[in-house]
């Protein structure tokens, strides 16, 4: 009986550590997404296709991880929004590399809208002004 209780306690502790680590990773991805989005916009405005494509590919990778995070949590709407963002950033990368900057900017706008939808549904402002997941 004590063995089962100890085993259960260890599994619970491990789950808490894994969850906390995932939350920390998620925060890191969101900071990367913000900074990279800004860089992407500047590179599209400057018509720098290679740099814009690299930024968009980085965002595509980030939102692949975000998709997996929400999939693991079984939050379907967030998972679908992340998948849409991931796919849209892939399109932006291709369009930027092909020199289709107007198309890439329009696709970026679509991807950014998915970010807003997820933020509205799944985060809230804490008393200290920071943001946390609902």
| Assigned domain for 63 exists | yes
pLDDT at 95 over 60: yes
Residue 94 covered by a domain: yes
The number of CA neighbours under 13 Å toward the Cβ of 100 is 11
Residue 108: which of 61, 51, 46, 60 has the closest Cα?
60
Instruction: Give percent of the chain above pLDDT 90.
Output: 61
Per-residue confidence (pLDDT) for residue 124, from 0 to 100: 83
Domain that holds residue 83: 25-133
Banded model confidence at residue 13, pLDDT cuts 50, 70, 90: very low
With respect to residue 12, please indicate whether it lies within any of the assigned structural domains. no
* 48's tokens: 């720098």
Q: How far is CA 3 from the centre of its chain?
A: 40
Count of domains for the chain: 1
Query: How much of the chain exceeds pLDDT 70, in percent?
Result: 84
SS3 123: strand
Q: Give me the DSSP letters along 34-47.
A: HHHHHHHHHHHHTT
pTM of whole model > 0.95? no
Mean pLDDT calculated for residue range 112-121: 86
What mean pLDDT value characterizes the chain?
A: 86
- What integer pLDDT is reported at residue 8 of this predicted model? 53
Q: Is residue 18 part of a domain?
A: no
Residue 2 lies in a domain: no
Looking at residue 3, what is its pLDDT? 63
Indicate which CATH number applies to the domain containing 57.
1.20.120
5: pLDDT strictly greater than 60: no
Lowest mean pLDDT among 5-14, 78-87, 111-120: 5-14
In a domain, 1, yes or no: no
Cα Rg, the chain, nearest whole Å: 18
> Would 109 be classed as within a structural domain?
yes
- Assess whether pLDDT exceeds 90 at residue 82: yes
Q: List Cα–Cα distances, 67 to 42, 71, 77, 113, 124, in angstroms.
A: 26, 6, 10, 16, 20
Residue 90 lies in a domain: yes
Counting Cα atoms < 13 Å in the Cβ hemisphere of 88 gives 21
């Amino acid at each position: 009986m004590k063995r089962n209780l100890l085993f259960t306690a260890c599994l619970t502790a491990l789950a808490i550590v894994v969850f906390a680590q995932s939350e920390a990773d998620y925060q890191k991805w969101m900071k990367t997404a913000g900074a990279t989005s800004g860089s992407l916009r500047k590179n599209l405005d400057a018509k720098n296709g290679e740099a814009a494509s690299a930024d968009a590919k980085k965002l595509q990778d980030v939102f692949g991880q975000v998709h997996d995070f929400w999939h693991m949590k079984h939050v379907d709407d967030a998972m679908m929004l992340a998948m849409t963002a991931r796919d849209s950033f892939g399109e932006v990368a291709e369009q930027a590399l092909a020199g289709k900057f107007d198309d890439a900017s329009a696709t970026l706008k679509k991807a950014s809208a998915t970010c807003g939808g997820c933020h509205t549904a799944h985060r809230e402002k804490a008393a200290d002004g920071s943001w946390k997941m609902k």
